[in-house]
């Protein structure tokens, strides 16, 4: 039981490049979330999903897209990376609404 | 102000008690949470309190909730060097974007020998 895993762990992109971050969970959770963490700002919700095939915008969705084609996977895409997207990205999942969220180890992304 | 506020830093000596405070603007949370983040790692749920409780004790951890003042605190007794981390309070807050789990800015706890 791996919990929540994220790939890759680190990535450096140039401005304008694209990439996809993968989140996988093996706990059969319905809810999945993508957050970004910036110094002094805590975690901010980018997008979330309440089940397979559904996605919704969070607090800071601009510049990101997501997909939840399979229940266990939640993908976060950056179509044209910008330096403002330099951050640490965390994926989380939960069994139910307002349930405990389990977090992945994070992906550190630098955009130059 | 922010929906959930915490002080940024706290420094204590090993063996002393640590108290980390959190205030929030509004909450529809059934639970309020404390997460711990060690360097280079994700967040891990440390403890939580049901919203109709005012205190919960879990070994060295004591959570106090004052709903009237919208104040949550985490007390760590006999603080150890291994407790050095960033601590986040979180709750489901009614924001302009709906009802979302909202995190405080995090309090970095440094434990000195």
pLDDT in the model for residue B98: 62
Q: What is the overall mean pLDDT for chain B?
A: 89
In the predicted model, what is the mean pLDDT of residues A39-51? 90
The answer to whether residue A24 neighbours chain B at the CB level (below 8 Å) is no
Q: Is A61 near chain B, with CB under 8 Å?
A: no
Inter-chain residue contact A42 with B44, CB threshold 8 Å = no
Across all residues in chain A, what is the average pLDDT?
94
Query: How confident is the model over B73-107, as pLDDT tens digits?
Result: 999 999 999 999 999 999 887 666 566 788 999 99
Q: Return the HEC string of chain A.
A: CCCEEEECCEEEECCCCCEEEEEEECCCCCEEEEEEECCCCCEEEEEEECCCCCCEECCCCCCCEEECCCCCEEEEEECCCCHHHCEEEEEEEECCCCCCCEECCCEEEEEC
Residue B96: closest CA among chain A residues belongs to which residue?
A59
Closest partner CB to A101 (pick from B30, B101, B105): B101
Q: Does B1 touch chain A (CB under 8 A)?
A: no
Of the pLDDT bands very low, low, confident and very high (cuts 50, 70, 90), residue A76 is very high
Are B41 and A106 an interchain contact pair (Cβ–Cβ within 8 Å)? yes
In this structure, are residues A55 and A67 in contact, taking their beta carbons and an 8 Å threshold?
Answer: yes
Q: Do A104 and B42 touch (CB under 8 A)?
A: yes
Min Cα distance A56 → chain B (Å) is 11
Question: Is A39 in CB contact (< 8 Å) with chain B?
Answer: no
How does strand A10-13 pair with strand A107-111? parallel
| pLDDT tens digit sequence for B18-68 | 999 999 887 677 789 999 999 888 899 999 999 899 999 999 999 999 988
Q: What is the pLDDT of residue B27?
A: 67
The pLDDT tens digits of the residues spanning A15-40 come to: 999 999 999 999 999 999 999 999 87
d(CA A12, CA A76): 16
pLDDT at B12: 97
Residues 58-77 of B with CB under 8 A from A: none
How many whole angstroms separate alpha carbon A23 and alpha carbon A67? 11
CA B30 – CA B41 distance, rounded (Å): 27
Is the distance from CB of B64 to CB of B54 less than 8 angstroms?
Answer: yes
Q: What's the angle, vertex CA B71, arms to CA B74 and CA A91, rounded to 5?
A: 65
């Amino acid at each position: 039981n791996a919990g929540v895993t994220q790939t890759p762990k680190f990535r450096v992109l140039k401005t304008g490049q694209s990439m996809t971050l993968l989140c996988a969970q093996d706990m059969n959770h319905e809810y999945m979330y993508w957050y970004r963490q910036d110094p002094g700002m805590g975690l901010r919700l980018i997008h979330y999903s309440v089940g397979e095939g559904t996605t919704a915008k969070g607090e800071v969705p601009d510049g990101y897209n997501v997909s939840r084609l399979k229940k266990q996977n939640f993908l976060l895409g950056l179509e044209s990376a910008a330096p403002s997207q330099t951050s640490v990205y965390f994926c989380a999942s939960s069994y139910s609404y307002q349930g405990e969220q389990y977090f992945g180890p994070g992906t550190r992304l630098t955009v130059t | 102000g922010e929906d959930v506020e915490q002080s940024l830093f706290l420094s204590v000596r090993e063996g002393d008690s640590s108290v980390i405070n959190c205030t929030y603007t509004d909450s529809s949370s059934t639970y309020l949470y404390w997460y711990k983040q060690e360097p280079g790692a994700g967040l891990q749920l440390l403890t939580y309190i049901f919203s109709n409780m005012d205190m919960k004790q879990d070994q060295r951890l004591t959570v106090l909730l004052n709903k009237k003042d919208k104040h949550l605190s985490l007390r760590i007794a006999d603080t150890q060097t291994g407790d050095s981390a960033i601590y986040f309070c979180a709750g489901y807050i009614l924001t302009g974007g709906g009802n979302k789990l909202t995190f405080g800015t995090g309090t970095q706890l440094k434990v000195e020998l």
